[in-house]
Amino acid sequence: MSEVGRGSTAVVWRVTDPRSGVDVALKWMVPDLVMDEAAVRMFSDEAAIASRVLHPNVARVLGTGAFEGAPFIVQDLVEGCSWAELSERAEAHGAPIPVGAHLGIAAQAAEGLHAAHETRDAGGKLLGIVHRDVKPQNILVGFDGRVRVVDFGIAAARDRSTRTATGTTKGTLAYLAPEQILSPRDIDRRVDLWSLAVVTWEALNRRRLFFDPNEGTTIWNVVHLPVPRIQAEGVPDAVRDVLDRCLTRDPSQRPASAAAVAEILESAAVELGYADHAALARVVADT
């Protein structure tokens, strides 16, 4: 048993499933929060929402339980790293990730988000899942070349038991869509398209877009800063265009779905030779 990740509400451990002998990821709530009923309900909601999303590009929930009074979620263990770590290591080695690889990662992430957005209940009704916290740390790239979207801890859904208080902003400021800041109760799947576009923009340009050490400035940037067109060499015009549309502050002008975005990104990745899992696997291994 070893720690593989830690956040404000939970610690992720690598453990061996005694029944199968396979290593899995066990996300265990920080024991100090057990007495916080709202935190426990949010954790339970995360498990319920994530377990409904069945897609190769979303980390699969294998089960839930409790240990020493603290709830946990068991998920597939992704052998690899986050998109953030991959980019950081590549920069540190002086060998930036190829444009095509970034587009291949973004395309798979978009597929995973679309699966979440389209998840339905037993009666065929959309659950209204919106991730709300798409950022490079929540997009994992495996040594197998497969991308998984993780952490539905603050995801919105129709049947979620906990609700965001009026005026409360959820998510990581630099990746939030403007409407998440200005009207956090009035959002839909299109906020995830904005966030994924910010992540992709930063990966391609190798710099931050809206982030500033001062939170107030970050908020101003998200709401007002003109978004520069991607300047990185080798990015197909179709990709520049779709990212521009995703980064439109009017949600009605963004693409209709993450699947539409994925199609364009994947086509570009194919053109550049990085659409298949084997090609991405080589990038992860080399980095």
Half-sphere exposure of 222 (CA within 13 A, CB side): 25
Chain centroid, CA 145 distance in Å = 16
User: Catalytic one among 17, 36, 45, 133?
Assistant: 133
Phi-psi region of 251 (alpha: psi -120 to 50; beta: other; left: phi over 0): alpha
CA distance 14 to 208: 31
The residue assigned the tokens 């263990």 is: 77
CB of 118 within 8 A of CB of 126? yes
Active site residue 133: yes
The residues assigned a catalytic role are 133
